[in-house]
Structure 1
């Protein structure tokens, strides 16, 4: 179970699991992080968190200590023992030094005391992603297209690509999978949270927008649609 929570392959959209029983805090945290380009799922119990870890992979876990079905530190120790390597940021109202030390000793990578600003949480997420081994080289390159996976910005032939958060996530995914077909289901799993509705033509529209922005900077026919199969980022031919 825990081993399924290992960090995503380098270049995929950053996915965060928020383990928080306070519905308001969970929603506000997810909304704040989503507005900064992260894909978030919220688990209101430790058991649901374990189920989500078994179902998908996460880059970061944001974990509240006081959960209704157990103590977050004890849960984390069990998950670590089962092979969980995903970085964990603990959230808690307990600010005493001993509590922070106990949390870090239980397997947390960072510690944030409530109340907190979502901007600080996002900065700590980015800091963990910059750690050696967290993700590979932050700059993706496919032909004339470049994408900085930390700054979340792309460029083409030296000119900036003006992308929405979702467009940037799609471009990143397609670049890391360049040369391989990416299905609609793969895109949905990487770019949308479990409870986020996806309209029938949402992926097609998203791909079309990114394709047009690439074409506007001189890159044509590199992001293609394979009807009934998926989408493909072509490696340029010299």
Structure 2
């Protein structure tokens, strides 16, 4: 539990330390760039992972197009948001499940608003569509977004899967924004956090993040079903995870 205690204490102290900048950005929104605002959270995420000796090896950053995109990310660990924020090359907003536990965290809730995160109600289709439209608007205005389309942790939904079934409606964000999709595969992250609640055990470990080739299929063919595209992306992610697992097993043999 020592790693978790260190990590939890740093979240409290670290976010309290961001208050002066948060207030400055909120009170003078036109004076500071989105990069300046996002860099505060990126620095916090990097320090949080370093504190518990989680090393992240990043591959494929050169594949990210120089335009707003929708990052599509698999979700194996409660720490994946830290890994995502520490890995991307630009400010992003995240699509977050509209649950009280995430929406009401002091200080963090203000940061999520500042970086244009969007809460999505997964139980109410009408409200869910509104969130998808808002996320797509953020992209058309030049702000990239990220989504975890599994909708829950992989091992919670489908314990024997590398990547669980996508909620394909999440990809509609890219359809409406007419933007590329960049799959981001987080490999080997399941073992870094034991538990499904905010309290758990954190294990020091090396993980790998890989950005895959950008996808334009939905732009080239607007009639392409999002469910078909979702399966295509999921399969690409699983291939990369299998490749990583094979290399790990071979190196240990």
Q: Is the structural similarity TM-score above 0.5?
A: no
What TM-score, normalized to structure 1?
A: 0.27
What TM-score, normalized to structure 2?
A: 0.26
Instruction: Name the structure with the higher strand share.
Output: 1
Instruction: Name the structure with the higher helix share.
Output: 2
